[in-house]
Amino acid sequence: MCNKSMSMQEKLYCLLIYLPSLEDLLNTSMIVATTGTIDVLDDNSSTCTKVDCWMTIGSTQLYSSDRSCIRSSEWLNDRVIFAAEELLKQQHPHISGLQNPILQLTGSFEIMKKPFVQILNHAGNHWITISTIDCEPGSVFIFDSMNLLLTKELQMVVADLLHLQDHQHIVLKHVKMQYQIGSNDCGLFAIASACALCNEFNPAKMKFEQSIMRQHLLKAFQDKELTPFPHKKSRQQAISIIEKKVRIYCICRKPDSGGKMILCSNCKEWFHCACVKVVDNIIFESNWLCDVCR
């Protein structure tokens, strides 16, 4: 995404990447050769022109490129995902979560203490929805229109959101849902699942009309109201769930990241060396004690 710190060359490159249609390019006068300004595409800019700004949802500014992205068959970007989450948050203020998915990149999601709904990014190219609504403590439901298992990186993100102090495991409950056709509509399924959960529906029991999901989302943004996506009742009778138990450790309550860990000789709990600031040369110290046991 474009930002103020980018060079003109980078901004131009950005402009080419993020404005998908020629129509958009022609309808705007964003490259003003005489002034050299292309601030119109700047995400943080207050100088966004009317032509490029499509609308504002909560704190999210959507651009005409986002509208084109929804209209065409493109993969939804994080701005569109968060705008949908913001609509849901406005309509369902009692539901926790619905945080900006961009926070996943910096590991700065707020810890969730109440039942929540959250859209997450899987490996940089796929959107999924997780929720703890109607889930027993220590567990989380995962709704993924490609029915993939969580990557190690995503397990860390989920553990971070839950931050389970009194559990030794997280139980990941992969709920089998409708499989998406093609590879670009995962964002729509993730939003549709989040919306269903906010409305107390189970996404696993819904068969979404994939061909009109983009239309539905566009209308939701225009109306500033996101209603459940058009669907039929799924023919699937019983809900199929694949459970995966993931051990969590340390003060951070996250799984083994593959990095170095150290064992407390008293409580026998493992800690990530980075979390307890243990330097490499004392990893094999036999009587290391954690902060609680010290």
Please report whether residue 146 would count as binding Zn ion according to CB under 5 A: no
Which two three-digit tokens encode residue 270?
């493992």
What pairing do the DSSP bridges indicate for beta strands 169-175 and 139-143? parallel
Q: Which stretch binds Zn ion (CB under 5 A): 12-20, 153-161, 198-206, 259-267?
A: 259-267
Interface with Zn ion, residue 273, by CB under 5 A: no
Please, are residues 198 and 165 in contact by the beta-carbon 8 Å criterion?
no
- How far apart CA 270 and CA 285 sit, in angstroms, is 13
> Is 262 a binder of Zn ion (CB under 5 A)?
no
Q: Which x/- pattern over 16-55 shows residues binding Zn ion (rule: CB under 5 A)? A: ----------------------------------------
- Restricted to residues 228-257, the positions that interact with Zn ion (CB under 5 A) are 250, 252
**Under the criterion CB under 5 A, does residue 206 sit at the interface with Zn ion?**
no
H/E stretch holding 64 reads: helix 64-71
Instruction: Report in angstroms how near the CB of residue 167 gets to Zn ion at its nearest.
Output: 15
Joined tokens for residue 173: 């409950």
Distances (CA, A) of 271 to 250, 252, 264: 4, 9, 8
- C-alpha 187 chain-centroid distance: 9
Do residues 189 and 214 touch, judged by C-beta distance below 8 A? no
Question: Which 159-188 residues touch Zn ion, going by CB under 5 A?
Answer: none
φ and ψ at residue 18, rounded to 5 degrees: -95, -5
6-14, 55-63, 148-156, 258-266 -> range binding Zn ion (CB under 5 A):
258-266
Smallest distance, Zn ion to C-beta of residue 177, A: 32
Beta bridge partners of 142: 130, 174
Nearest approach, Cβ of 27 to Zn ion (angstroms)? 50
Q: Is 293 a binder of Zn ion (CB under 5 A)?
A: yes
Residue from the set 242, 267, 282, 283 that interacts with Zn ion by CB under 5 A:
267
The residues, any chain, with a CB within 8 Å of residue 111's CB and separated by 6 or more, are 160, 161, 162, 163
Q: How far is the CB of 165 from Zn ion (least distance, A)?
A: 13
Q: Is 149 in the site for Zn ion (CB under 5 A)?
A: no
Quote the CA–CA distance of 246 and 231 in Å, as a whole number: 33
- Give the largest CA-CA distance in the chain: 71
Q: Segment near Zn ion (CB under 5 A), from 105-113, 200-208, 219-227, 261-269?
A: 261-269
Q: At which residue do the structure tokens 């990014």 appear?
A: 121
| Percent helix, strand and coil across the chain, each to the nearest 5 | 30, 20, 50
- Cβ nearer to Zn ion, comparing 232 with 277: 277
Q: Does 264 bind Zn ion (CB under 5 A)?
A: yes
Residue 285 engages Zn ion in binding (rule: CB under 5 A)? no
Number of residues that bind Zn ion (CB under 5 A): 9
Strand partners, 116: 96
> Counting contacts by CB under 5 A, is residue 272 touching Zn ion?
yes
Instruction: Kindly state the smallest distance separating residue 271's Cβ from Zn ion, in Å.
Output: 6
State the nearest-atom distance from the C-beta of 247 to Zn ion, in Å: 12
Min dist. Cβ of residue 290 to Zn ion (A): 3
The CB-of-41 to Zn ion minimum distance in angstroms stands at 39
From the list 229, 59, 222, the residue with the least C-alpha distance to 129 is 229
Residues that bind Zn ion (CB under 5 A): 250, 252, 264, 266-267, 272, 275, 290, 293
